[in-house]
Amino acid sequence: MNIKTLFPTISLFFCFCTMLWGQQDAQYTQYMYNTVSVNPGYAGSRGHLSVAALYRNQWLGLDGAPETQTLNLHTPLGYRGVGLGVSIVNDKIGPTSETYFDVDFSYTIQTSFDARLSFGLKASAHMLDIRFSELDEFEIDPQLQAQQDIRNQFSPNIGAGIYYHTERFYAGFSAPRILETEHFDESSISTAKEQINWYLIGGYVWDLNPFLKFKPTVLTKVVQGAPLQVDLSANFMFNEKFIGGVAYRWDAAFSGLFGFRVSDEMFIGLAYDREITDLGATTFNDGSFEVIVRYDFIRNIGNLKSPRFF
């Protein structure tokens, strides 16, 4: 599917020719394995150095559709409750691409024998590219066509979050980007303003029998100017190695999820989304695909009380 056919979709995104409000953070189906991207309080919570890479291709078959790559690593520092993490997130849609360079800092206090509460801060450097020249072939507003391409426009941001977890339960509340940055000056016909995305995340692990565990999770995202987003998932883990389940994004998509613990250190997760909106009914949208690979540098497995499920 070429960019000409995709233009009606892109034109909706480019409503910033007056002012853009809406949902701007990257979207993840496997948020339960990529928590540090939305909550800095998660940094260091796995108890060892953890590295994860995620790739998401949304609306397969559409040229210029959303595409996201994420790379993050985080680790505890010593035994003082401090965690540190760094992330790179690249998000593309049509002629627009955004790259975030994030540094996460967390401080954890032990609230009971197996419960911990973490407070996190995130510092971000945001780079924005918009290639208006790629829209020249379409019959659109001449003023928009005349805009100069935007290259590596820089803006800083900060975020914060709290994260609580035991061996079987976790919950977090966060706003990874708090500053509502305007990306264009007053002389431009186009203005894009970032809004605060508020996240509430939670999950639990139930033992159904000695070999089977049930892992429900939820992610709620609230942002001014966009519908409430609620992601619900139900995963089952067999023999602490194979994971399979389904997910539902409220009024948006159904998903299938599969995960495999290659070893105690390495995990691979796959997800496939099928839209239930009008866009999903089109013949040129083959759904969305997501893969994540995570590796934990576990120094001494024998010292772990139990495997980490999240």
What's residue 144's pLDDT?
55
**Residue that the structure tokens 């409503």 belong to:** 15
What's residue 6's pLDDT?
44
pLDDT 10s digits, 135-173: 655 555 555 555 667 777 899 999 999 999 999 999 999
How far apart, in whole angstroms, are the C-alpha atoms of residue 296 and residue 36? Answer: 14
44-181+194-297: what fold?
Porin (2.40.160)
Burial of 221 (0-12, 13-18, 19+ CB in 10 A): buried
For the chain, the structural domain boundaries read 44-181+194-297
Q: What is the DSSP string of 95-152?
A: TEEEEEEEEEEEEEEE-SSS-EEEEEEEEEEEEEEE-GGGGTTS---HHHHTSPPEEE
What's residue 287's pLDDT?
86
What's residue 10's pLDDT?
42
Strands (E), 177-226: 198-204, 206-209, 212-222
What's residue 96's pLDDT?
87
Residue ranges of the chain with per-residue pLDDT less than 70: 1-24, 133-148, 183-193, 279-284, 300-307
